[in-house]
Amino acid sequence: MFDHAAFAGHESVHHFHDREAGLRAIIAIHSTRRGPAAGGCRMWKYASSDAALTDALRLSQGMSYKNAMADLPLGGGKAVIIGDSHTEKSPELFRAFGDAVNSLAGRYWTAEDVGVSPTDMAFAAERTKYVAGLAEGAAASGDPSPVTARGVFLGVKACARQAWGDDDLSGRKVAVQGVGHVGGRVCELLAEAGATLVITDVHSDLLRSVAKATGASVVEPDAIYDQDVDIFSPNALGAILNPETLARLSCRIIAGGANNQLATPDIGDQLAERGLIYAPDYVINGGGIINVASEISGVFDADWVEQKLQRLIVTLSEVLAQAATESRGANRVADEIARRRIGEVG
């Protein structure tokens, strides 16, 4: 474990197995220096247990940085459940997951992520109070993905200001990878702003629905990298910016809600060398965790969430400006700021 390439100094990593419920889960806690670790639960049919562990570790570290960049009193953690979210869900599985979360006695707060819904989290909440993103309850606000999507949209506009001097997206062509809870709403906001969309997803029903609502063109998943566009917006899974895909991209801006978009940090350096503007994922997609943080406080405050979201976009703009001035990857700039903020507390 300690020699794992993605270990990154995690405080603890927990494996849970409930044979009767079918639960195989990993909860990674990267840091609690700013407060209890917080991050969503992802359910995915991983190719191997090591792939699940790698994802949990990388996502957990990303949550530490995300929470720091959003200036939240939270550390970073993440949960992954190994399984097919379309065929292997059950109330018993999520109740068992709730027991797992509860065993950590408040060191980790969970919410929904890819493959997990507020309904699933409600079953977990039967067994633990350390759940956010619920549809019902004293501080509940439901699925945080719309706030994530709004933050991504505002972040795209911030990138446009950096690239072209204004944030008018009318007539801009955007390739959107992934049109689920976050990506689908991003598409709607972009279309409302006058952008022309090219979209893809592995789920054809989602594609048809979003295309009908936004007038978007549809391409096969692998073809999304080859589109001649102004903006590429990844809103699916991670590591999609790698040597193979980087060579195929034809855009000025990369800005989307997916986590861990860079396969390796040096990809950010290569983006900067090519003159591409890259919005570090854990900065631009921080809207959802801001929403969750308000729930965790015990009293949901929509005005506080909006103020924090607006401040986050200012932080993103500052990162982009510094990266341009220093001619280096925006991810390097953001990493330094995040590490400094984590180190300043505790």
* 89 labelled catalytic: no
The percent of the chain in helix, strand and coil, each rounded to the nearest 5, is 45, 15, 40
Question: pLDDT at position 344, please?
Answer: 52
CATH numbers and ranges of domains, the chain: 12-62+75-125 (3.40.50.10860), 145-287+313-342 (3.40.50.720)
Question: pLDDT at position 346, please?
Answer: 38
Question: pLDDT at position 105, please?
Answer: 97
- Based on its alpha-carbon atoms, the radius of gyration of the chain, rounded to whole angstroms, reads 19
Q: Pseudo-torsion of CA 102, 65, 84, 127, nearest 10°?
A: 10
Backbone angles phi, psi at 234, to 5 degrees: -80, 120
pLDDT beneath 50, residues of the chain: 345-346
**Rounded to whole angstroms, what are the CA distances from 5 to 8, 9, 28, 164, 240?**
8, 10, 14, 38, 18
Per-residue pLDDT reduced to its tens digit, 217-228: 999 999 999 999
41 within 8 A of 116, measured Cβ to Cβ? yes
- State the catalytic residue, choosing from 78, 89, 157, 308: 78
Per-residue pLDDT reduced to its tens digit, 169-201: 999 999 999 999 899 999 999 999 999 999 999
Question: pLDDT at position 136, please?
Answer: 84
Of 320, 249, 246, nearest to 283 by C-alpha is 320
Which residues contact residue 344 at a Cβ distance below 8 angstroms, ignoring those fewer than 6 apart? none
> Is the Cα torsion angle 200, 203, 206, 212 positive or negative in sign?
positive
